Amino acid sequence: MYGLPRERLPHGPRARRIAGLVLGAGLLLGLGMVGLLAPGAARAQRRCEPTDTDIQEAQALFVAGAAAIDAGRWSDAIDSFSRAYTLTCAPSALYNYGVALRALGRHREARDAFDRLLTDHPDLGGETRDNAVAFRGEEAARVAVLELVGVDPEARPELSLDGRAIADSGARPITLETDAGSHSVIARIPEHQPFVWEGELADGQRERVPVVFAEIPAAEEGGVDPLAIIIPVLVAAAIAGGVTAGILLQEDAQLAPDHPTRLIRIGTP
């Protein structure tokens, strides 16, 4: 049984109350079977080889995830569906995981979840696949991108985005993907002051950030002035900590997404 057509799904505060629209039922029915989307799910089952205990736990996690969404606790739903997919590799669990990430505005992670769904479950079909493809495109368009330009290709700066370490692949310009909101970037190379950027990004915004590393000035008597190192580092750490706290508060406050959501609701066998 299917819910409302995608274009008729409601927006705003009511979204959390109807986020459990039914797309299908019957996941994990029968001993050792993953049954919602038979071909793709069977492929996943052979890879994961879930036990009866795994299947029972995944069923309970689906119920818990749906209840969390009904209550507006999207972060809890993310944890439930993620664990269910780890246990069974069932495509419906990964789909719901992506839907929950999307509802919280975690567009980069949602895009990656739908990418994985379409790649790892090529036999996914019907309206579920159509929705996954559409959601993937929408989420990709909402990912914000920072381009760090002017960094020497020979340099390998230590990078952090919102306090999270980022590996420098060597590609130039350095591209950092994130979501809308307040962000900070810190880049460090030896014998130079940390480069710090902070600012606001909108959905889908691509911002070019020129990076200039200033050499650490020497003290008048010779040698390096410790304050020239300590003060920029403290400032950078304070900025990163403040932005991270702001992101966490923003996510906790976002209980009712303002864009359409469609969830696979799984009933008990």
Class of the CATH domain delimited by 6-142: mainly alpha
pLDDT band at 219 (very low <50, low <70, confident <90, very high): low
Taking only the tens place, the pLDDT of each residue in 56-67 is: 999 999 999 999
Query: How do residues 103-126 score in pLDDT, each as one tens digit?
Result: 999 999 999 999 999 999 999 999
The predicted structure's pLDDT at residue 222 = 54
- Average pLDDT in the chain: 78
Into which CATH architecture does domain 144-252 fall? Sandwich (2.60)
DSSP string for residues in 191-257? TBPPEEEEEEE-TT-EEEEE--PPBPPBPTTSSB-HHHHHHHHHHHHHHHHHHHHHHHHHHHH--S-
Asked if pLDDT for residue 23 goes beyond 70, the answer is no
Share of the chain above pLDDT 90, in %: 62
Going from N- to C-terminal start, the domains of the chain cover: 6-142, 144-252
